[in-house]
């Protein structure tokens, strides 16, 4: 497999021979899997392939030239930064060009105006440290500090810290987007000048091309530059401690502290989140799955299963934790005030404080984010929603009930309803349901469960963030919006009429259901006999 020789030579003239390759060994390195996010499922086996060539541009101008060459020679391409999102961020058609953006790796922080300008190849870890050195911080999502900051912000970007900070798209400021035909769009204040401090800009807000609640996984162009809003933090250093893999950040307890509370009931658990939001205290307020505690305690997979095997459906049913991160943003006095208010709330609701490590392993720099999920080898957030807090706190129960039908191959978790938390001081809620499996086993049940969750959401009238390319567009489209799929396909056709940018997204999951024999029996919705997209 390779791309056309003329196209290859043209690309080489842009980036130089050192930064383009069709060597099979190099291309094999960009194969999806073998473990990690959404790996080992039917979607990966049916829909992904290795690239025909890999190119590594250095600047926005080089990205534009590469994309224009792809349009000229009809070479499909996919933008790629770290690939952490699994198969959906990899090549889907034969002889596709993978545009690896890791060389766009410069960043510049504006300490005075609280933003940081990054390229596509910049991961969160260095910019988080640089921001904290200057009394600020950024939000790192569950993908971890090794994920591309831009890819995370135009795709997901959630965190327990969203309790105070809110929705991720609000942190996207001035942005440069290379459209699928190679033209450059400057968004926000970059449309009027060189200062990226403002995200809205004149006229319609074009950030909707980048994402809704979630993103389109690279099918509407390539973001090469973005200014990300940073937020004021407290001044004390968070000191790295431990030896890998048992690493953490030691927290200055007078300014940053995790506190866990055992609540007497689900009602008290939810009420506590509302009251904490109403009081406008804390940096994070969340409920996490019980098996995450087993992960945190275990030194290896075997020890995890030894710890987890002691839990029962009854112990899960009666486990109501509220995990609170207190941050003294302005002073130790503010920290003490917040803690006093928190204790008053918990006393009234019957919450009992539990011993908590004076460190953070998960959310400020995500020391354990890549490893903590791999008890089985593969995992996925099968759904996440941003809605009212009252909806978020019951959303996972429906998932837990449906999951029983597909366990195994899904990991047994005794009916745990997943993770939910407060967003925007309780004005919104967030729910996420994660599932785990062994990719070496028969994963048909996982494929079925994933699709059936979309039907369940429609039936139960749950909103879901996993629309667009994450589920069959002709299943979810008519039911949400309604008919949001018609608008999405019109936008795709307008900006990318030959579907050169990451085909067949956003119809990839529709295509998967059509191509995978074991999925066809689940198709009970209407769709065109021929999906409205060019064939590659």
CATH number at residue 75: 3.30.43.10
* pLDDT computed for residue 366 by the predictor: 67
For residues 392 and 335, state if they share a domain: yes
- Residue 281 pLDDT class (50, 70, 90 cuts): very high
Residue 429, pLDDT > 80, answer yes
Q: Please identify which residue in the block is written with the tokens 């369940």.
A: 456
For residues 339 and 321, state if they share a domain: yes
Kindly state whether residue 238 falls inside one of the protein's structural domains: no
Q: 20 and 75 in contact (C-beta within 8 Å)?
A: no
Dist. CA 157–CA 168, nearest whole Å: 5
The mean-pLDDT minimum among 10-14, 70-74, 384-388 falls in 384-388
Tell me which of 418 and 406 has the higher pLDDT.
406
Kindly state whether residue 527 falls inside one of the protein's structural domains: no
Q: Tell me the pLDDT tens digit for each residue of 384-401.
A: 888 888 888 888 888 889
Q: Tell me the pLDDT tens digit for each residue of 448-491.
A: 999 999 999 999 888 888 887 889 999 999 998 889 999 999 99
- Report percent pLDDT > 70 for the chain: 97
Kindly state whether residue 334 falls inside one of the protein's structural domains: yes
Q: Please identify which residue in the block is written with the tokens 């609640």.
A: 213
Q: Which of 232, 262, 294 is the last residue of a domain?
A: 232
For residues 286 and 377, state if they share a domain: yes
For residues 85 and 120, state if they share a domain: no
For residues 221 and 304, state if they share a domain: no
Average pLDDT estimate for 318-346: 94
∠ Cα 473 489 179 (to 5°): 125
Q: Tell me the pLDDT tens digit for each residue of 143-155.
A: 678 889 999 888 8
**DSSP secondary structure of 315-371:** HHHT--EEEEEEE-SS-HHHHHHHHHHHHHHHHHHT-EEE---SEESSSSS-TTTTT
Dist. CA 251–CA 367, nearest whole Å: 14
Cis status, amide bond into 409, omega within 30 of 0: yes
The pair of three-digit structure tokens given for residue 474, joined into one six-digit string: 């002709």
Residue 142, pLDDT > 80, answer no
Q: Cβ of 486: how many Cβ atoms within 10 Å?
A: 13
Dist. CA 360–CA 366, nearest whole Å: 8
CATH number at residue 210: 3.30.465.10
Helix and strand totals (H; E) in the chain: 17, 22
Q: Which of 232, 264, 298 is the last residue of a domain?
A: 232
Kindly state whether residue 294 falls inside one of the protein's structural domains: yes
User: Mean pLDDT of all residues in the chain?
Assistant: 89
Strand partners, 385: 431
DSSP assignment letter at 488:
H
Average pLDDT estimate for 60-85: 94
Kindly state whether residue 534 falls inside one of the protein's structural domains: no
Using a 10 angstrom Cβ sphere, with 0-12 exposed, 13-18 middle and 19 or more buried, the burial of residue 52 is buried
Residue 436, pLDDT > 90, answer no
Q: Which of 462, 317, 447, 320 is nearest to 399 (CA)?
A: 462
* pLDDT computed for residue 140 by the predictor: 84
Residue 519 to residues 445, 478, 524, Cα–Cα distance (Å): 10, 20, 11
The mean-pLDDT minimum among 271-280, 356-365, 392-401, 423-432 falls in 356-365
Residue 524, pLDDT > 60, answer yes
Kindly state whether residue 530 falls inside one of the protein's structural domains: no
Helices 332-349/266-279 angle, 10° precision: 150
* pLDDT computed for residue 309 by the predictor: 85
* pLDDT computed for residue 372 by the predictor: 62
Interacting residues of 262 by C-beta distance below 8 A, sequence separation 6+: 320, 321, 351, 352, 354
Residue 243, pLDDT > 60, answer yes
Q: Tell me the pLDDT tens digit for each residue of 87-131.
A: 999 999 999 999 999 999 999 999 999 999 999 999 998 999 999
Q: pTM surpassing 0.85?
A: yes
Residue 353, pLDDT > 80, answer yes
Average pLDDT estimate for 330-355: 94
Domain that holds residue 483: 472-522
* pLDDT computed for residue 463 by the predictor: 84
Q: Is 14 helix (H, G, I), strand (E, B) or coil?
A: helix
* pLDDT computed for residue 205 by the predictor: 83
For residues 139 and 210, state if they share a domain: yes
* pLDDT computed for residue 20 by the predictor: 96
Dist. CA 508–CA 14, nearest whole Å: 30
- Residue 1 pLDDT class (50, 70, 90 cuts): low
Residue 316, pLDDT > 90, answer no
Kindly state whether residue 420 falls inside one of the protein's structural domains: yes
Dist. CA 411–CA 376, nearest whole Å: 8
Q: Which of 280, 234, 273 is nearest to 253 (CA)?
A: 234
Kindly state whether residue 240 falls inside one of the protein's structural domains: no
Dist. CA 221–CA 13, nearest whole Å: 22
Residue 174, pLDDT > 90, answer yes
* pLDDT computed for residue 157 by the predictor: 83
CATH number at residue 433: 3.40.462.10
For residues 203 and 329, state if they share a domain: no
Cis status, amide bond into 518, omega within 30 of 0: no
* pLDDT computed for residue 371 by the predictor: 62
The pair of three-digit structure tokens given for residue 294, joined into one six-digit string: 């087993």
Average pLDDT estimate for 353-374: 74
Residue 198, pLDDT > 60, answer yes
Tell me which of 293 and 435 has the higher pLDDT.
435
For residues 128 and 256, state if they share a domain: no
∠ Cα 156 157 161 (to 5°): 145
For residues 354 and 491, state if they share a domain: no
* pLDDT computed for residue 440 by the predictor: 85
For residues 349 and 277, state if they share a domain: yes
Interacting residues of 366 by C-beta distance below 8 A, sequence separation 6+: 124, 140, 142, 144, 145, 146
Residue 256, pLDDT > 70, answer yes
Tell me which of 479 and 290 has the higher pLDDT.
479
Domain total of the chain: 4
* pLDDT computed for residue 59 by the predictor: 96
Q: Which of 199, 232, 265 is the last residue of a domain?
A: 232
- Report percent pLDDT > 90 for the chain: 55
Q: What is the largest CA-CA distance in the chain?
A: 73
For residues 348 and 492, state if they share a domain: no
* pLDDT computed for residue 47 by the predictor: 94
For residues 252 and 361, state if they share a domain: yes
Tell me which of 242 and 511 has the higher pLDDT.
511
The pair of three-digit structure tokens given for residue 24, joined into one six-digit string: 């099979």
């Amino acid at each position: 497999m390779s791309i056309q020789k003329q196209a290859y030579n043209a690309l080489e003239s842009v980036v130089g021979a050192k930064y383009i390759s069709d060597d099979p060994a190099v291309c094999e390195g960009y194969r999806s899997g073998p473990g990690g996010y959404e790996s080992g499922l039917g979607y990966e086996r049916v829909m992904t392939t290795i690239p025909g060539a890999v190119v590594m541009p250095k600047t926005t101008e080089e990205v534009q030239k590469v994309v224009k060459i792809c349009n000229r020679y009809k070479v499909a391409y996919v933008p790629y930064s770290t690939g952490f999102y699994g198969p959906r961020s990899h090549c889907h058609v034969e002889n596709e060009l993978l545009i690896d953006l890791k060389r766009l790796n410069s960043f510049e922080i504006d300490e005075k105006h609280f933003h940081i300008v990054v390229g596509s190849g910049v991961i969160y870890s260095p910019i988080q440290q640089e921001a904290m050195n200057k009394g600020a911080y950024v939000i790192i999502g569950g993908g971890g500090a090794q994920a591309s900051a831009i890819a995370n912000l135009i795709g997901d970007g959630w965190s327990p810290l969203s309790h105070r900070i809110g929705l991720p798209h609000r942190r996207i400021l001035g942005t440069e987007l290379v459209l699928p035909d190679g033209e450059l769009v400057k968004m926000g204040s970059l449309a009027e000048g060189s200062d990226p401090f403002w995200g809205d800009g004149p006229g319609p807000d074009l950030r909707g091309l980048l994402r809704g609640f979630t993103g389109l996984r690279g099918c509407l162009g390539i973001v090469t530059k973005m200014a990300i809003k940073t937020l004021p933090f407290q001044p004390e250093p968070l000191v790295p401690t431990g030896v890998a893999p048992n690493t953490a950040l030691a927290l200055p307890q007078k300014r940053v502290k995790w506190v866990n509370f055992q609540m007497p009931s689900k009602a008290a658990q939810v009420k506590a989140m509302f009251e904490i939001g109403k009081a406008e205290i804390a940096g994070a307020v969340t409920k996490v799955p019980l098996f995450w505690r087993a992960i945190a305690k275990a030194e290896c997979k075997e020890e995890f299963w030894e710890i987890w095997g002691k839990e029962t459906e009854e112990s899960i049913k009666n486990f109501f934790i509220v995990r609170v991160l207190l941050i003294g943003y302005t002073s130790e006095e503010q920290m003490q005030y917040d803690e006093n208010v928190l204790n008053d709330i918990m006393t009234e609701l019957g919450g009992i404080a539990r011993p908590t490590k004076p460190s953070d392993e998960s959310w400020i720099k995500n020391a354990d984010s890549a490893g903590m999920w791999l008890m089985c080898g593969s995992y996925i957030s099968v759904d996440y929603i941003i809605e009212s807090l009252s909806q978020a706190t019951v959303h996972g129960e429906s998932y837990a009930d449906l999951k029983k039908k597909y366990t195994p191959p899904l990991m047994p978790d005794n009916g745990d309803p997943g993770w939910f938390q407060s967003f925007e001081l309780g004005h919104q809620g967030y729910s996420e349901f994660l599932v785990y499996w062994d990719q070496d086993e028969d994963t048909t049940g996982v494929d079925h469960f994933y699709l059936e969750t979309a039907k369940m959401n429609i039936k139960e009238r749950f909103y879901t963030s996993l629309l667009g390319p994450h589920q069959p567009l002709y299943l979810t489209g008519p039911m949400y919006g309604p008919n949001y799929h018609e608008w999405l396909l019109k936008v795709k056709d307008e900006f990318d009429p030959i579907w050169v940018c990451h085909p067949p997204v956003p119809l990839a999951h529709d295509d998967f259901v059509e191509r995978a024999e074991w999925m066809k029996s689940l198709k009970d919705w209407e769709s065109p006999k021929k999906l409205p997209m060019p064939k590659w």
